[in-house]
């Protein structure tokens, strides 16, 4: 079965398609406008994407934070800072960071960081394309969790450092010795993250994956989970 790992990059997504360990890696860049095509491609059996899917909602009974995020941070220890809080569905249509903060304040919800708001467009694009019917096909993952479980442990150096890039490339090369030519204009760290997501997708197919989270679903019925 072909699987796809997906990571966000400037202007859209980078995907890594693989069928098995050691197989060729097929890379592709996708604009944000093609998110639904990226996720619904029938040639791919499982898609693992590095973006929050099940989201906190509005109101006093909605969860303020996700158990899967807390578990991922605990697993990654000092690297837990790489797990951004999932944005509330309240802010998906916000046109600016200021608008998002105003919406959260109006609903009595905690504010969000500018860094977290930076992924809102990508989160909204995925949210518009998935439903509970996709539960067994489209999964949220986190590359840092994948790299930790690959053997890197929680203490990996930062992915944007030369040492961090080298360690992550080495971990992936154990599974795919020939990574192939990366798409033009895609930063290496984003491509490596996409392939780490593909590693998680293969583990889903084999039934070897771990699932972080407590089984909670959001107001649309989407699971709040991270797989690796």
At 188-212, the pLDDT tens digits run 999 999 999 999 999 999 999 999 9
The answer to whether position 34 is within a domain reads yes
Q: How far is it, in rounded angstroms, from Cα 134 to Cα 47?
A: 10
Q: What are the tens digits of pLDDT across the range 41-80? A: 999 999 999 999 999 876 544 455 799 999 999 999 988 8
Strand partners, 211: 227
pTM metric for this prediction: 0.93
Is 220 within the bounds of a domain? no
Q: Report the distance separating Cα 61 and Cα 64, nearest Å.
A: 9
| Four-CA torsion 142, 145, 147, 149, nearest 10 degrees | -140
Please say whether the beta carbons of 30 and 8 come within 8 A: no
Of all helices (H) and strands (E), which one includes residue 29? strand 26-31
**Residue 81 domain flag:** no
Bridge partners (DSSP) listed for residue 37 = none
Q: How far apart are alpha carbons 5 and 47 in whole angstroms?
A: 6
Residue, of 112 and 65, whose pLDDT is higher = 112
d(CA 194, CA 212): 19
Decide: residue 78, CB within 10 A, 0-12 exposed, 13-18 middle, 19+ buried: exposed
Which residues, including other chains, have CB under 8 Å from residue 225's CB and lie 6 or more apart? 53, 54, 68, 139, 140, 211, 212, 213, 215
Is residue 111 in some structural domain? no
**Could you give the number of structural domains in the chain?**
1
What gap in Å lies between CA 156 and CA 154, rounded to an integer? 6
Residue 16, domain extent = 3-52+137-206
47 inside domain: yes
pLDDT per position as a tens digit, 154-175: 778 888 888 989 999 999 999 9
Residue 121 lies in a domain: no
């Amino acid at each position: 079965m072909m699987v796809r790992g997906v990571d966000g990059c400037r202007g859209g997504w980078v995907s890594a398609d693989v069928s098995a360990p050691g197989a060729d890696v097929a890379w592709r860049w996708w604009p944000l406008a093609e998110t639904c095509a990226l996720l619904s491609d029938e040639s791919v059996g499982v898609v693992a994407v590095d973006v929050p899917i099940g989201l906190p909602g509005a109101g006093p009974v909605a969860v303020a934070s996700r158990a899967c995020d807390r578990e991922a941070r605990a697993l990654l220890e000092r690297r837990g800072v790489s797990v951004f809080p999932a944005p509330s569905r309240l802010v998906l249509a916000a046109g600016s960071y200021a608008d998002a903060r105003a919406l959260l304040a109006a609903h009595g919800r905690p504010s969000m960081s500018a860094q977290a708001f930076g992924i809102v467009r990508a989160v909204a694009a995925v949210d518009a394309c998935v439903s509970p019917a996709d539960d067994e096909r489209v999964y949220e993952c986190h590359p840092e969790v994948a790299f930790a479980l690959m053997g890197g442990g929680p203490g990996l150096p930062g992915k944007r450092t030369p040492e961090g890039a080298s360690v992550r490339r080495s971990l992936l090369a154990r599974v795919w010795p020939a990574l192939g030519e990366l798409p033009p204009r895609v930063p290496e760290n984003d491509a490596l993250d996409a392939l780490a997501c593909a590693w998680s997708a293969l583990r889903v197919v084999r039934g070897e994956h771990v699932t972080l989270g407590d089984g909670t679903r959001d107001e649309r019925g989407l699971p709040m989970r991270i797989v690796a």
